[in-house]
């Protein structure tokens, strides 16, 4: 049996050394070291040997096995190295050759407006707050003084996931969450996507974006709100922009107002952008309703605040002269390249 092992050793070393490719090497590995290989067969026949012979033969088999495994490993490395060398020769790259022209994209108009608004309010000392888009009805409605019989809570206006969970219809729930978690003073804006059950047309979409703002502190007045919005309008739409308030009603503010800005195209003289009125409706605003403060754990006898909110798409359409909201969502590169 010792002679058989040495013959296997001599034959296998010779064949492995002369091996020309990985397939041939793998076949030899199976032939000599596999489960049914020649060395394995020798080990299976050791039961016929005397107890004195077994240790010697076992040691010899293991020695030959280790030698063959090392030889095969070196041969595999040699084949891998040769393959890499051949690949590098075939795939030579001329680094002096001009590269293919790459086209760079740009920020979407909506993203541009959100970034600009954030920069303006960060400059005024505001912080940016965020919250879930799938929201509990208690935050979307109840804490904001919107009673169960209010039209905004109808299925025709709001997307319901369950009876108690909705797709937020404004970013106001973020304000409620912040007021619950943080003591005044509070000074935040809440940008993000919102959802309403609207049909798609030139001025409506079931998905759009809002930026809402909230300030809560001692001695906050309507004049603070007007001054803030004037500053924002001038920074966003131009230094000559004027602002006016019209009385309105929102359940979460009292008093409430709609804020218009002077048309930045015609300067208030009247044009097709402002439909001849000289003013463009911009946002809703007002003083935070005492019940909203109370619902969020803030004492309305000590603190007051103002809030405002506007649609980002409305700002984008006004600022860029876009007459159809659908253009902002269709992803037509010809349209987007203009911005």
Does residue 101 fall inside a structural domain?
no
pLDDT above 70 for 269? yes
CATH number, domain at 302? 3.30.930.10
Contacts of 179 (CB under 8 A, 6+ apart): 186, 214, 216, 292, 293, 296, 297, 298
171 and 297 housed in the same domain: yes
pLDDT band, residue 191 (cuts 50/70/90): very high
- Axis crossing angle, helix 312-320 with helix 109-123, rounded to the nearest 10: 110
Radius of gyration of the chain (CA): 38
Mean pLDDT along residues 136-153: 87
For the chain, the domain total comes to: 2
Do residue 139 and residue 68 come from a single domain? no
If one compares 298 and 79, the residue with the highest pLDDT of the two is: 298
Q: Give the mean model confidence (pLDDT) for residues 47-61.
A: 73
What is the pLDDT, as a whole number, of residue 186? 96
The predicted model gives 60-76 an average pLDDT of 83
Query: In whole angstroms, what is the distance from residue 253 CA to residue 116 CA?
Result: 26
Q: Which of residues 90, 125, 144 is at a domain's end?
A: 90
Domain that residue 42 falls in: 2-90
Q: What is the pLDDT of residues 92-132, one digit of tens each?
A: 777 777 877 777 788 999 999 999 999 999 999 999 999 99
Same domain, residue pair 128 and 208? yes
What confidence category does residue 285 fall into, taking pLDDT thresholds of 50, 70 and 90? Answer: very high
* Residue 272 and residue 206 share a domain: yes
Residue 49 lies in a domain: yes
Residue where one domain finishes, among candidates 55, 90, 125: 90
Q: Are residues 173 and 315 in the same domain?
A: yes
What is the distance, to the nearest Å, from the Cα of residue 2 to the centroid of all Cα atoms in its chain? 69
Does a structural domain hold residue 97? no
202 and 278: one domain? yes
Rounded CA separation 228/233 (Å): 9
Q: Are residues 146 and 179 in the same domain?
A: yes
* Domain-located, residue 102: no
Q: How far is residue 147's CA from residue 144's CA, in Å, rounded to a whole number?
A: 9
In a domain, 155, yes or no: yes
Say if residue 260 is in the same domain as residue 159.
Answer: yes
Q: Are residues 223 and 300 in the same domain?
A: yes
CA distances (Å), origin 114, targets 72, 128, 295, 311, 314: 63, 11, 29, 10, 12
pLDDT of residue 1: 67
Considering the domain boundaries, does residue 18 fall inside one? yes
Structure tokens at 165: 């969970």
pLDDT digits (tens, 9 = 90+) for 321-339: 888 889 999 888 889 888 8
Kindly tell me if the per-residue pLDDT of 28 is higher than 90.
no
**Nearest-CA neighbor of 170 among 221, 135, 222, 125?**
135
Looking at the structure, do residues 190 and 226 belong to the same domain, yes or no?
yes
Which of 90, 124, 154 is the endpoint of a domain? 90
Residue 280 counted as domain residue: yes
Per-residue pLDDT reduced to its tens digit, 147-175: 888 777 776 688 999 989 999 999 999 99
* Residues 83 and 142 grouped into a single domain: no
Q: Clarify whether residues 249 and 321 are in a common domain.
A: yes
DSSP state for residue 144 in the 8-state scheme: G
pLDDT band at residue 49 under the 50/70/90 scheme: low
In the structure, what pLDDT confidence band is assigned to residue 273 with cuts at 50, 70 and 90? low
Can you give the pLDDT at residue 34? 79
Please indicate, yes or no, if residue 202 is contained in any of the structural domains.
Answer: yes
């Amino acid at each position: 049996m010792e002679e058989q092992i040495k013959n296997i050793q001599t034959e296998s070393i010779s064949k492995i050394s002369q091996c020309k490719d990985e397939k041939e090497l793998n076949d030899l590995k199976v032939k000599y070291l596999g489960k049914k290989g020649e060395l394995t067969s020798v080990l299976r026949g050791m039961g016929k040997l005397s107890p004195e012979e077994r240790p010697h033969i076992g040691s010899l088999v293991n020695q030959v096995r280790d030698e063959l495994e090392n030889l095969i490993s070196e041969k595999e490395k040699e084949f891998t190295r040769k393959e890499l060398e051949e690949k590098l020769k075939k795939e030579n790259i001329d680094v002096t050759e001009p590269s293919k022209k790459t086209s760079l994209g740009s920020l979407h108009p909506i993203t541009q407006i959100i970034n600009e608004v954030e920069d303006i309010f960060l400059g005024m000392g505001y912080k940016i707050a965020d919250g879930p888009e799938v929201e509990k009805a208690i935050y979307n409605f109840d804490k904001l003084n919107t009673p169960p019989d209010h039209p905004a809570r109808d299925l025709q206006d709001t997307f319901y996931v369950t009876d108690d969970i909705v797709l937020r219809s404004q970013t106001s729930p973020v304000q409620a969450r912040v007021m619950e978690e943080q003591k005044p003073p509070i000074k935040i804006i809440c940008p993000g996507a919102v959802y309403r059950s609207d049909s798609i047309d030139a001025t409506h979409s079931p998905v759009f974006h809002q930026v809402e703002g909230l300030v809560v502190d001692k001695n906050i007045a309507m004049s603070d709100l007007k001054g803030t919005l004037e500053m924002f309008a001038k920074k966003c739409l131009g230094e000559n922009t004027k602002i006016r308030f019209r009385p309105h009603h929102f359940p979460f503010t009292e008093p409430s107002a709609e804020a218009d800005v002077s048309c930045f195209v015609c300067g208030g003289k009247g044009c097709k952008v402002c439909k001849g009125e000289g003013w463009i409706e911009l946002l809703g605003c007002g003083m935070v309703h005492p019940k909203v403060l109370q619902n969020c754990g803030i004492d309305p006898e000590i603190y007051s605040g103002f809030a405002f909110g506007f649609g980002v798409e409305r700002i984008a359409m006004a600022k860029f002269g876009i007459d159809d909201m659908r253009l902002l969502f269709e992803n037509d590169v010809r349209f987007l390249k203009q911005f």
